[in-house]
Amino acid sequence: MATIKEIAIAAGVSVGTVDRIIHKRGRYSPQTALKVERIMKDLDYTPNIHARGLKNTRSHRFVAIIPEPSQDNGYWALVTEGIMKGSRELSSFGAELTLYHYDRFSFETLQKRLEQIVEQSFEGLLIAPTFHDEVQRFLSDHDIPVMFIDSDIEGIKTKISYMGQDSYKSGVLSAKLMSLLIRGIEIPKILIVHPPGENIHHQERIKGFSEYLSSARQSVVITELSVSNDSLIVDYSPLDQFDGIFVANSYVYEIAEQLTAGLLGAEKVALIGYDLIPSGKESINDGRIDFIITQEPQAQGYQGILTLYNSIVLSREVEETIHTPLTIITKENLEEYIY
């Protein structure tokens, strides 16, 4: 008699997809189910009734794939913390989670993780898809129920939900805050820093920031700087020529390090960025960073894995898009939010 793996190969799907179809749980397309069931019949596959009973009592398995915890100034360590908190809570309900990390500047490392999970039996995937095009192609070829955090991918038929910021609106919010900081300057000079690595939600933040600021101010000079992931230390000596600097992620802390104490007086440069991380407390407290927009990284990880479980195991309806709050952090309320 054929094995589940042989059926998966013949159908061109993952072992996990065949497992979900056999035991009628989780998500899969009707077309895929018909194809798998036809192959099962052709190969004379009959599920073992006793084994099936054991199968239904075992843990529900999930997989999470996110960038390395140390990257983006420890931002992903906070996401990891949230995921593991949710996993611990769900373990008492029979849920098991395998967590993989990858280098967000290297698609090869992400591809290796994706190849690892294809032959595994699991019911759902939680992923932060920093390489949008490549992840979209992978998911289009595999019937894997998926929960996105941090950034979204449209057009994935097996997508359960996306949890994260409305990136464009967060950029608009940052521009409104910047407008307050540069009020009174006749022709303000603004620097927009594109952080290392390609990420569509960074681009959306910058788009929202640029469009609002350009429309709100009759006269403004905007300069853009792209920083590559292999040259994190660059010459920032011209920073003091700008009236304001906007950074689209936690790279704002790298910029803050270049703003010396001498710039904190009359020549203070307005600085706005993202992500509240433990090591960034000093640069917010001393005023180098004026505003931080937090993405609630721990909540994304925690609520993300719970949403995956609720949808697949409990068959609860979940919203297709779950936006996290646009929380503004400054030195006056820092102690209320510091992790």
Domains of the chain and any CATH numbers: 4-164+297-325 (3.40.50.2300), 167-294 (3.40.50.2300)
Highest mean pLDDT among 33-37, 182-186, 267-271, 288-292: 288-292
- Per residue in 210-237, pLDDT tens? 999 999 877 899 998 887 764 444 454 5
pLDDT of 281 above 90:
no
pLDDT at residue 32, as a whole number:
83
pLDDT at residue 226, as a whole number:
84
The whole-angstrom separation of Cα 65 and Cα 80 is 10
pLDDT of 159 above 70:
yes
Q: Taking a C-beta distance cutoff of 8 angstroms, is the pair 122, 129 a contact? A: no
The whole-angstrom separation of Cα 322 and Cα 165 is 8
Q: What value does the mean pLDDT take over residues 33-42?
A: 82
Structure-model confidence comparison of residues 64 and 254, the more confident one: 64
- Per residue in 175-208, pLDDT tens? 999 999 999 899 999 999 988 777 788 999 999 9
Q: Taking a C-beta distance cutoff of 8 angstroms, is the pair 280, 251 a contact? A: no
- Band (58; pLDDT cuts 50, 70, 90): low
Structure-model confidence comparison of residues 133 and 56, the more confident one: 133
Kindly report the three-state secondary structure assignment for every residue of the chain. Answer: CCCHHHHHHHHCCCHHHHHHHHHCCCCCCHHHHHHHHHHHHHCCCCCCHHHHHHHHHCCEEEEEEEECCCHHHHHHHHHHHHHHHHHHHHHCCCEEEEEEEECCCCHHHHHHHHHHHHCCCCCEEEECCCCHHHHHHHHHCCCCCEEEECCCCCCCCCEEEEEECCHHHHHHHHHHHHHHHCCCCCCCEEEEEECCCCCHHHHHHHHHHHHHHHHHCCCCEEEEEECCCCCCCCCCHHHHHCCEEEECCCCHHHHHHHCCHHHHCCCCCEEEEECCCHHHHHHHHCCCCCEEEECCHHHHHHHHHHHHHHHHCCCCCCCCEEECCCEEECCCCHHHHCC
